[in-house]
Amino acid sequence: MLNFENTESAFEYQSKKELKKAYLLFSLLKYPFLVKLGSILTVIAFKMGLPIKSIVKTTIFRQFCGGETVDESEDRISQLAWYNVGTILDYCVEGKENDNDFEKTKGEIIQSIIKAKENQHIPFSVFKITGLGPSSIIRKANYHEELDDKEKLALKSIKKRVNEICKKAHDNQVSVFIDAEDSWFQDLIDELALDMMLTYNKKSAIIFNTIQLYRHDRLHYMKNLITKCKDSNVKCGLKLVRGAYMEKEREQAKINGYEDPIHTTKQDTDKDYNKAIDHCLNHIDALSICAGTHNEFSTKYLTEKMSKLNLKNNDNRVWFAQLLGMSDHISFNLSKNGYNTAKYVPYGPIKEVLPYLIRRAKENTSVTGQTGRELSLIKKEIKRRKSGNIS
């Protein structure tokens, strides 16, 4: 029986010391002012070459990342695998702007595909289109603005990199998620994702596009995409998320005077997320899905819907995923009940991963209730172990 209150299975993999460390970290993340100040000071300290790497590495990096390299992430992969939780290696280097870096990122993603092929505990690979080319070109192409010759060449290189990654995934039969990003990049991402699905999803869902249900146009888009895939006789791969860039989206819409693409209320986002689950499960013969969420209600909703449709808990077309260091009570209780579950495990050099860490820290202050929930669950488990004298 699925029970997210079971903190024993949620934190079985963590020692008392590790739990206490996590408790301290989430206690600090509760304070937006501290997170803001800490983020600024950390970036400055790195720029000045101050020796703070080991502090970052043993605290927030350890909570949310696997390691600086794939090799360093091995312990985490094995630890999760022990509890039947898969790893999705996420090379988390962002904000690069030159060809060498884009090629390096492409190489890392291809390595993660090869690694996934060798290791049954790595069910997916993942990448962001903005990691493969200059964001200014992606933005221009997104709005079909005229490109000069140099820009055309840059766009061609992005498309080539995307195809190389997807072909590698197809040849190795490793499914790959294309992450969703800001709306000013998303049309181009959707276009590339569809192109890759039509090419590589003929037999099974190798390429997954991501649907952000905090956008009011996405449910409609998703339904059309499923129809398009059906009509073209290819499997549709979909990762369902709510969306990570709400504040930025609202701000840009306001500044530039266009309609806010995000739902007005959280309830509207929740409604669309659950409607997307309904629609996907009603068409499950044509697709594979991954629910990328820390929301308990949506997770339970999906498991109940699976049961109503007589799908097995481990039906290989339905996956659940959470981020490393967050919502272990969901991940480990799902896997304990036989559901296909995986964690995004970000990795990369600490300095490069900083923007990701800062986003996680901010998310843990801004997502209503998220930190409070993590804290109370960890507290409950520490108390349980204390009363049973468990280390």
- How far apart are CB 341 and ligand FAD at their closest, in Å? 10
Q: How far is the CB of 243 from ligand FAD (least distance, A)?
A: 4
Long-range contacts of 359-364 (CB under 8 A, 24+ apart): 359/244, 360/60, 360/64, 360/323, 360/325, 360/326, 361/29, 361/35, 361/38, 361/39, 361/60, 362/35, 362/39, 363/244, 364/26, 364/29, 364/35, 364/326
Q: Whose CA is closest to 158, among 180, 182, 175, 142?
A: 142
Count how many residues are written for the chain.
Answer: 391
Take residue 224 and report the two structure tokens written for it: 């059309």
Looking at the Cβ atoms of 138 and 154, the one nearer to ligand FAD is 138
Shortest distance (Å) from residue 90 CB to ligand FAD:
9
- Give one word for 296, left, alpha or beta, with left for phi > 0 and alpha for psi -120 to 50: alpha
Residue with smallest beta-carbon separation from ligand FAD: 292
Q: Return the HEC string of 56-110.
A: HHHCHHHHHCCECCCHHHHHHHHHHHHCCEEEEEEECCCCCCCHHHHHHHHHHHH
What DSSP state is assigned to residue 356?
A: H
Q: Which is nearer to ligand FAD, 344 or 356 (CB)?
A: 344
Nearest approach, Cβ of residue 123 and ligand FAD (Å): 12
Query: Cβ closer to ligand FAD: 60 or 244?
Result: 244
CB of 233 to ligand FAD, least distance (A): 26
Of the pair 42, 293, the CB lying nearest ligand FAD is at 293
Q: Give the residues across from 319 on adjacent strands.
A: 290
Q: How far is the CB of 307 from ligand FAD (least distance, A)?
A: 21
CB-based burial of residue 79 (10 Å sphere; 0-12 exposed, 13-18 middle, 19+ buried)?
middle
Query: Which one, 154 or 239, has the nearer CB to ligand FAD?
Result: 239
- For the CB of residue 137, give the shortest distance to ligand FAD in the complex, in Å: 20
Q: Is the CB of 286 or the CB of 367 nearer to ligand FAD?
A: 367
Please identify, using beta-carbon distances, which residue of 108 and 270 lies nearer to ligand FAD.
Answer: 270
How far is the C-alpha of 136 from the C-alpha of 143, rounded, in Å?
11
User: In the complex with ligand FAD, which residue's Cβ is closer, 134 or 292?
Assistant: 292
Min. distance of Cβ 104 from ligand FAD in angstroms? 21
Is residue 345 within 8 A of residue 65, CB to CB? The reply is: yes
Where along the sequence are the contacts to ligand FAD (CB under 6 A)?
179-180, 210, 212, 214, 241-246, 262-263, 265-266, 269, 292-295, 321-323, 344, 367, 370
Secondary structure tally for the chain: helices H, strands E: 17, 8
